[in-house]
Amino acid sequence: MIRVMIERHIALDLDEHYDRVASETLQKAMSAHGFISGEALRDIDDPMHRLVIANFRNAHDWQIWAQSEARKDMMKQMSLLLEQEEKITLFEY
């Protein structure tokens, strides 16, 4: 199993829109091959700083989801809500 850490910084006053798009993205990810679980966290000191932790069976399964049309479509919407490009880091045990 791997953990995918996705760090995002939301543009000012767009957090409600972000929450909606992020929720839709997580729902779509749940049907992705190899997806195990996911959670979304909010920085206590900076509510516009978010972290998504997604657990996938392996890096290959993550790559398939990351390059899927479903994720690309959601990221088109998401990118309009972010101050900067998301940062993705993969971790393994």
pLDDT in tens, 4-45: 999 999 999 999 999 999 999 989 999 999 999 999 999 999
3 state SS of 47: coil
Task: Reply yes or no on whether the pLDDT at 48 is more than 90.
Answer: yes
Mean pLDDT across the chain, nearest whole number? 95
Fold adopted by 2-92: Alpha-Beta Plaits (3.30.70)
3-state percent helix, strand, coil for the chain, nearest multiple of 5: 35, 35, 30
The answer to whether 31 touches 85, Cβ cutoff 8 Å, is no
pLDDT category of residue 3 using cuts at 50, 70 and 90: very high
What's the one-letter identity of residue 36? Answer: I
Its pTM surpasses 0.75: yes
Q: How far apart are CA 55 and CA 72, in angstroms?
A: 19
- Report the pLDDT value the prediction gives residue 93, as an integer from 0 to 100: 87
The structure tokens 């966290």 sit at 41
The answer to whether 8 touches 91, Cβ cutoff 8 Å, is no
